[in-house]
Amino acid sequence: MPSRTKAQSEAISREAQVFIDKIPRMPCPNILARFLTGPSTVPKIRSRWAKMEDPIEESVIATQHLEFEHTVIAGVHILIINPPIIKLGMQSKVMLNIHGGGFIAATARDRSALLMAGEYGIKVYSVEYTLSPEARYPVARDQCLAVYKELTASFGAENVFGMCTSAGGQIMLSLLALAQRQKLPMMAGLVLYTPAADLSASGDSPITNAGRDVMHPTIVAAIAKKNYIGKHDTKNPLVSPLFADFEAGFPPSVITTGTRDVLLSGSLRLSWKLRDVSSRVELLVADGMWHAYHWEPEMPEAIRTRKEVYRFLDSLI
Amino acid sequence: MPSRTKAQSEAISREAQVFIDKIPRMPCPNILARFLTGPSTVPKIRSRWAKMEDPIEESVIATQHLEFEHTVIAGVHILIINPPIIKLGMQSKVMLNIHGGGFIAATARDRSALLMAGEYGIKVYSVEYTLSPEARYPVARDQCLAVYKELTASFGAENVFGMCTSAGGQIMLSLLALAQRQKLPMMAGLVLYTPAADLSASGDSPITNAGRDVMHPTIVAAIAKKNYIGKHDTKNPLVSPLFADFEAGFPPSVITTGTRDVLLSGSLRLSWKLRDVSSRVELLVADGMWHAYHWEPEMPEAIRTRKEVYRFLDSLI
């Protein structure tokens, strides 16, 4: 199947078409997966990530006139991202960000967080959790939970919002499942950009979108197992919080995904699950869009998605 | 690709697994499409439809204790479906139903409408519009628009809700686009079960779900063109209302679809479009579910979907 037919191209922007054409083909994912779980892979992925992300991040920082502070909360380094103007009604609020990157790569200077701070106008506390394999599950989750406890104690839970992307979604959802068990107060609202809710890769999209997305499910699963999950059962409700027993009072949430996203199914199933425990669940699914398409700074589909996410946050003030 | 792998099966109910196993394979859709646009096809499809639907409809009618009245509005036959108990707050309201069936089959005694009347508890006015090829586009749309005018004049637009399924979605959305142009008052809320918003079949799912759904896009498109659309351009905004310029004040809407649905992409793109003109757009996407899965009386995924649709209607009272 070509990466896009005429009928598929008609439904997406020119920018999205160009992006899709650059998605590398992965003809032998099983062999690649074995290769990419070798000892030298993680440093290579990290340096490739930085090379790809650094210029984009720097461009967003410049365009949005963002400034940084550094602090330590509960022993964990936090990057505070300050926009030049805080949105009316958000002056006393903060956004807790847990970045993506497959548990093994990326930093707190995360595109999703930079765009949120600048475009929306909110102070973002972005957690520099310890990556894998240096720390494995549940270290990052426990670090973020400790930060959550301190942030909600300082600002009041009603003034704390949460956001997360991809792997950060697993950490955030696991954290909230645990926070509910511990009877901690819930945050005021939650943005789930294509969350990795199901590390067991069940459902439709890990099959149907294999080879159509920017990441291949076989390869991602192998890397996550080797470096992050280890011997933990992927059906464990704190490893794959799609299977967690969330309780009533879960924060109002917005979930974004696309039809090419390998995490589509997990995100959709999460939306049904959260409907049972949350007063509000907004679902945004973009046709023809891939994993984490939302963070392309200039792509129309991404801009539209972030606009709806910001509108969702507006409705919570 | 098998119809369902283990990972896909894990995410859906046993009932859904059984259903998927019965979806007929269509190895040569182009040849089948040519065959199914022959002169004897429509009567055959209609009798097959009736044979399949009659016992299910009769079972829903019995279970829900539904009673019927017949009336004529604007020269069009209307089946009024009366539940034994009207839901509190819905006594003065009516639901206008436009059934599906690919423009060529099915009747006003439509499963979606029967379930709505019985399970939710609202009086449903189901339009017996003239099927194709006896009448072609835009006859059914104009019949339904005439009914809409009379219903809103009688009951007040604030007391009229709308619902539609599949092909009925094309008729309903085209009707509303035209009603907005004519400055007619808008209905109070709209249920779009897997709407056929885009008869040009653009987007991701007509490609990716070909062979995975209960209907094959090539065959459906050929039948619709032959019997309903004719020489009309499928990019015409009243033929494919996905391309219509809807105006602000569009009714609050809920849209349902599934990841196997060939109409997934059209439904998703409609959700984005309506977000710009409606105060509320609820999107329900069920993992692994096919076109019109929502109307299976006893399937858990369908029950859950209808429950959320009814909750949406509750929120509009």
Give the number of beta-carbon pairs within 8 Å between A and B: 95
Up-side HSE of residue A68: CA atoms within 13 Å toward CB?
15
Instruction: Say what percent of chain A tops pLDDT 90.
Output: 93
The answer to whether the pTM exceeds 0.95 is: yes
pLDDT higher than threshold 80 for residue A205: yes
Residue B26's pLDDT band (boundaries 50, 70, 90)? Answer: confident
- Average pLDDT over every residue of A23-45: 88
In the prediction, which pLDDT does B3 show?
86
pLDDT higher than threshold 70 for residue B1: no
Looking at the domain assignment, is residue A94 inside a domain?
yes
pLDDT higher than threshold 70 for residue B7: yes
Buried b (16+ CB within 10 A) or exposed e, B232-260: bebebebbbbbbbebeeebbbbbbbbbbb
At B241-292, the pLDDT tens digits run: 999 999 999 999 999 999 999 999 999 999 999 999 999 999 999 999 999 9
pLDDT higher than threshold 80 for residue A1: no
What are the distances in angstroms from CA B281 to CA B46, B85, B110, B254, B315?
34, 28, 24, 6, 12
pLDDT higher than threshold 80 for residue B185: yes
pLDDT higher than threshold 90 for residue A26: no
- Average pLDDT over every residue of A269-291: 98
Query: How many structural domains does chain A have?
Result: 1
Residue B105's pLDDT band (boundaries 50, 70, 90)? Answer: very high
The answer to whether the CB of A165 falls within 8 A of the CB of A99 is yes
Looking at the domain assignment, is residue A127 inside a domain?
yes
What are the distances in angstroms from CA B315 to CA A225, B89, B188, B311?
43, 11, 11, 6
User: B201: nearest CA in chain A?
Assistant: A7
Looking at the domain assignment, is residue B270 inside a domain?
yes
When scoring A1, A208, A213, A282 by the number of chain B Cβ atoms within 10 A, the one with the most, hence best to mutate, is: A208
Looking at beta carbons, which residues of chain B come within 8 Å of A269? 11, 287
- Looking at this protein, which amino acid is placed at residue A316? L
The answer to whether A269 faces chain B, any CB pair under 8 Å, is yes
- Average pLDDT over every residue of A147-152: 98
In the prediction, which pLDDT does A2 show?
64
In the prediction, which pLDDT does A38 show?
83
A269, B287: Cβ pair inside 8 Å? Answer: yes
Window 173-232 of A, Cβ < 8 Å to B: 200-208, 212
Dist. CA B37–CA B221, nearest whole Å: 10
The answer to whether A283 faces chain B, any CB pair under 8 Å, is yes
At B53-94, the pLDDT tens digits run: 999 999 999 999 999 999 999 999 999 999 999 999 999 999
A285, B265: Cβ pair inside 8 Å? Answer: no
B203, A11: Cβ pair inside 8 Å? Answer: yes
Note if the bond before A138 is cis, omega within 30 degrees: yes
Looking at the complex, report in whole angstroms how far the Cα of residue B18 sits from the nearest Cα belonging to chain A.
16
CA angle B29, B35, B39 (to 5 degrees): 145
Instruction: Give the residue from B86, B106, B96 showing the smallest Cα distance to B46.
Output: B106
At A49-87, the pLDDT tens digits run: 999 999 999 999 999 999 999 999 999 999 999 999 999
Q: Which of B11, B285, B304 sits opposite A285 (nearest CB)?
A: B285
Here the CATH number for the domain that contains residue B38 is 3.40.50.1820
Supply the ipTM of this predicted assembly: 0.96
pLDDT higher than threshold 90 for residue A3: no
Dist. CA B98–CA B108, nearest whole Å: 8
pLDDT higher than threshold 90 for residue A36: no
In the prediction, which pLDDT does A298 show?
97
Looking at the domain assignment, is residue B171 inside a domain?
yes
Looking at beta carbons, which residues of chain B come within 8 Å of A11? 202-204, 265, 269
At B133-181, the pLDDT tens digits run: 999 999 999 999 999 999 999 999 999 999 999 999 999 999 999 999 9
Looking at beta carbons, which residues of chain A come within 8 Å of B285? 268, 271, 283, 285
Cα radius of gyration rounded to whole Å, chain B:
18
pLDDT higher than threshold 70 for residue A280: yes
Looking at the domain assignment, is residue A175 inside a domain?
yes
Looking at the domain assignment, is residue A1 inside a domain?
no
Instruction: Give the residue from B224, B250, B228, B246 showing the smallest Cα distance to B237.
Output: B246
Looking at the domain assignment, is residue A75 inside a domain?
yes
- Average pLDDT over every residue of A194-201: 97
Looking at the domain assignment, is residue A161 inside a domain?
yes
* Strand locations in A113-181 (E): 123-127, 160-165
- Average pLDDT over every residue of A106-132: 98
Helix axes B14-21, B300-316, angle to 10 degrees: 110
Q: Which of A5, A201, A203 sits opposite B288 (nearest CB)?
A: A203
Residue A34's pLDDT band (boundaries 50, 70, 90)? Answer: confident
Note if the bond before B133 is cis, omega within 30 degrees: yes
Dist. CA B242–CA B309, nearest whole Å: 21
Cross-strand partners of A306? none
CA angle B234, A288, A258 (to 5 degrees): 130
Structural domain of residue B244, as residue ranges?
6-315
